[in-house]
Amino acid sequence: MIELAGGQRLGTKSSNTSTLEENKRKRFDLGNTPWIMLISTQPDMAKLVVLSEGFAGKTYELKTDKTTIGRVDDNSFSIAEGSISSHHCEINLKGGKVYVKDLDSTNGTFVSEKQVKGEALIPAGKVLRLGQVEIRLETGEAEAGGDDIEKTIVLKQGGVKLGKLEKGTQTVSFGKDKPFSKKSNKINKIFIGVGIVLILVIVGSIVFAVMQLKGN
C-alpha cells in the first residue's frame, strides 16, 4: 500500500487484481444470487362449444370475467335461435371456476339438465342448455371420473388362468364309458356267476340226497 500526499492511499497492482477477482466470484456465485421464479396461476382458456344442430362447432372463448349470451347481437356471445331469450344468461369467471347466471329467461337455463335458479357452477366438460340449445364447457381440466375410465387394470402374474376360470367347477360322473364303471360291472358279473354255480351245486346236492333216500 502506497500513501500519497494528502493522506490518499493507493493499493498495489496485486492487491487491486485480487479485489477484482473476488468481486467477480461474488457476482456469479449462484448461492448468493436471489432468484425470482414466476409461476403462472392463470387456468387454461375456457371456451363454450355449441353442440346443437345448425350451430354445431360454434365456439366462444371466455377471455373476460363476464360474458353475456342471448339471441340479439348486443350480447358477448350471440346465438340466433328462437328458444333463447334476447338476453338469456351471464357467464362469470371466479377464482378459476365458471359460473352461469340466468337472466330471467323464458325457457330457462340448465346445467346437466338441472335448472339454474340464480347462479350455478358449470363443471368442466358438462353441458349447459339454453332453451333447446346445448353448449359444452371445455377447459384444460379433466372431467371428473375420466381418469378412472382410462386406467388399465394390471393382472398379477401367476394368477388363475383364463382356461381354469372358464371351466369352473366340474361335476364328476361315472358313466358307462368310465374305467371305474367297467370294473364295477365286471365284479358284478363274477359275483352273479359264482352265485349261480353255488345254487346249482346246492340244488344238485339236494337232488342226489333225495334219490339216495328213495333207493334205501
Q: What is the pLDDT of residues 56-76, one digit of tens each?
A: 889 999 999 999 999 999 999
| pLDDT on residue 62 | 94
For residues 43-66, average pLDDT: 89
| pLDDT on residue 154 | 56
Percentage of residues in the chain having pLDDT higher than 70 = 58
Residue 146 has pLDDT above 50, yes or no: no
Helix (H, G, I), strand (E, B) or coil at 30: coil
Residue 192 has pLDDT above 80, yes or no: yes
For residues 125-139, average pLDDT: 94
Buried b (16+ CB within 10 A) or exposed e, 5-29: eeeeeeeeeeeeeeeeeeeeeeeee
Of 35-44, 82-91, 139-148, 186-195, which one has max mean pLDDT? 82-91
Query: Greater confidence, 153 or 105?
Result: 105
Query: Greater confidence, 117 or 19?
Result: 117
Q: What share of the chain is helix, strand, coil (3-state, %, to 5)?
A: 30, 20, 45
C-alpha dist (Å) from residue 174 to 145, 184, 185, 190, 191: 53, 11, 12, 20, 21
Looking only at the bridges linking them, the beta strands covering 77-78 and 66-70 are: parallel
This prediction has a pTM of: 0.47
Closest to 130 in 3D by CA, of 78, 67, 83: 83
Percentage of residues in the chain having pLDDT higher than 90 = 40
For residues 117-142, average pLDDT: 90
Contacts of 209 by beta carbon, 8 Å cutoff, 6+ apart: none
For residues 77-89, average pLDDT: 96
| pLDDT on residue 204 | 82
Calpha distance 188→185 (Å, rounded): 5
Residue 48 has pLDDT above 80, yes or no: yes
